[in-house]
Amino acid sequence: MELRPGLKLSSAVCSTEVIVVAGSGDIDLTCGGVAMLMPGAEAGAADAVDGLTEGTMLGKRYCDDDGTVEVLATKPGDGSIGIGQTALSLKEAKPLPASD
């Protein structure tokens, strides 16, 4: 699927929704190992692949190893976000003190 920043995608296997924060071009973004759905696409019956069910947490960001693809979970769910069958990692950021 063609990713671009701002694109909203939903999971075909659970309640997860994400927004693309970084990453453009033809990237096979998955949730639970199954391709995520473009806006307006109908979900068929699909189950998550075993081992890709760590889940997504609301407000957390997930990225690939070199940080070229990053998504923000705007709805939580049971599937893991990945590219193909490889799960993305939870992005840990040191919280900054409130400044405004």
Partner 1 sequence: MNILTLLDMAVSGFGDRTAFGSVGSGLTYTELLERSARAGHYFTEAGTDRVSFLDVSSPALPVALFGAAYAGQPFVPLNYRLADGDLAALAERTAPASLVAGTDQVARVASTAGLQVIERDEFLSATESGDALDPSAWSMDPDDIAVLLYTSGTTGEPKAAVLRHKNLVGYILGSVEFMGAGEDEATLVSVPPYHIAGLAAILSSVYAGRRVVQLPNFDADTWIDLVASEGVTHAMVVPTMLARIVEQMTARSIELPSLRALSYGGGRMPLPVIDQALRLFPETRFVNAYGLTETSSTISLLGPDDHRQAHVSDDPSIQRRLTSVGQPLPTLEVSIRDDEGAEVPSGTPGEVWVRGEQVAGEYLQQGSKLTAEGWFPTNDGGELDAHGYLYVTGRLDDVIVRGGENISPGEIEDVLLAHPEVRDVAVIGIPNDQWGETIAAVVVGSATEDELKAFVAERLRSSRSPDTVVYRDELPYNDTGKLLRRVLRAELAES
Question: Would you tell me which residues interact with partner 1 (CB under 8 A)?
Answer: 5-8, 19, 21, 58-61, 72, 74-76, 93-100
Nearer CB in complex with partner 1: 24/85: 24
Q: Considering the complex, what minimum distance in angstroms separates the CB of residue 64 from partner 1?
A: 17
Q: How many helices (H) and strands (E) does the chain have?
A: 0, 11
Nearer CB in complex with partner 1: 74/86: 74
**Cβ atoms 37, 28 nearer than 8 A:** no
Length of the chain: 100
**Cβ atoms 27, 83 nearer than 8 A:** yes
Q: Considering the complex, what minimum distance in angstroms separates the CB of residue 16 from partner 1?
A: 12
Task: State the Cα–Cα distance between residues 59 and 89, nearest whole angstrom.
Answer: 14
Q: Considering the complex, what minimum distance in angstroms separates the CB of residue 58 from partner 1?
A: 5
Nearer CB in complex with partner 1: 33/77: 77
